[in-house]
Homo-oligomer: A and B are copies of this chain.
């Protein structure tokens, strides 16, 4: 199979670009004594998760229990689940998962810890639980070092649980703020006699600044770095060439001199803007702007282009946000260096719970 055999819209994954992105991040982490634990939300592919580990990652990060189950099925052995797991059904699944892989999970409330404690009381293998910390993102997480200490003590005191350390997803662009927060909390916990085995932060936006927090953290969890995207080019994290995920589209209409329409809309590219103007970048027509999406159409303003794409022409789009595009497709097309293409099912897609 070659690119010409692919019907559009389709997701292309350029294997060489993936490899380069993975190696570059691993080399950076190695140079700064950081451990990587990549987030698989971006690709949801066991083969790429395995490759990340092969290159030096200590394990992987999953956001959904269902994703972690798929990765365990595929042979991944060390998983951090960065989500509060609540409710009897999910806790039962969590217990089963803990029996077959090295697993850690997070908590940011007494309720979450109580659920883990009840489930794992008397378990042969304890569950490792990290305290999730809100270091400025304004999402989940305890709000202060004192709250972190209270929760860590609660975990430490529970029979079937083991306190695993501190976890945060920091606000993009403020890595020092998160590092200071974590260093302070770690100090407080250690002063209180608690061992803090891991302090884990993440995020591709600040990946090349991760070393600035290296004294405060033990582990870094980047996700999008494997594919990169338009938002990361805009932030200066990478150049267009590093963008390994591209959406292959066809120009299906050219109704006016300044407009063409692609067969890729919000059900292909997603509506994520991440603060950007427009919905993707067309490397072949840098002056074009994907101005509007409906569900299956992308309306492109080509008024600034010298030449206009023709009806039937196939174009690559670098999306604003790679992770959400992966999530829209049952399969991606992995393009090797020699141009051969393999269709690969996105095994962990649709594992919503």
Contacting pair A83 B353 (CB below 8 A): no
Contacting pair A7 B324 (CB below 8 A): no
A327–B292 alpha-carbon span in the complex (Å):
19
Contacting pair B350 A311 (CB below 8 A): no
Q: Does A193 contact B (CB under 8 A)?
A: no
Residues in B with CB closer than 8 Å to A271 are: 270-273, 324
Q: A112-B311, A142-B255 are in contact. List 16 more A-B contacts (CB 8 A).
A: A83-B252, A86-B250, A86-B252, A86-B312, A109-B311, A111-B311, A112-B253, A134-B255, A139-B255, A140-B252, A141-B255, A143-B255, A143-B256, A267-B324, A270-B271, A271-B271
Nearest CB on B from A61, distance (A):
12
| B-contact bits for A1-35, CB 8 A (1 contact / 0 none) | 00000011110000000000000000000000000
Contacting pair A140 B109 (CB below 8 A): no
Contact of A83 among B142, B296, B350 (CB under 8 A): B296
Residues in B with CB closer than 8 Å to A267 are: 324, 327, 352
Contact of A9 among B254, B273, B352 (CB under 8 A): B352
A136–B185 alpha-carbon span in the complex (Å):
58
A253-B7 in contact given A138-B259, A350-B330 (Cβ < 8 Å)? no
Size band of the A side of the interface?
35 or more
Contacting pair B266 A295 (CB below 8 A): no
A353–B324 alpha-carbon span in the complex (Å):
18
Q: Does A108 contact B (CB under 8 A)?
A: yes
Measured CB to CB, the nearest residue on chain B to A350 is B330
A140-B352 in contact given A7-B89, A267-B327 (Cβ < 8 Å)? no
Q: Does A328 contact B (CB under 8 A)?
A: yes
Residues in B with CB closer than 8 Å to A296 are: 41, 63-64, 83
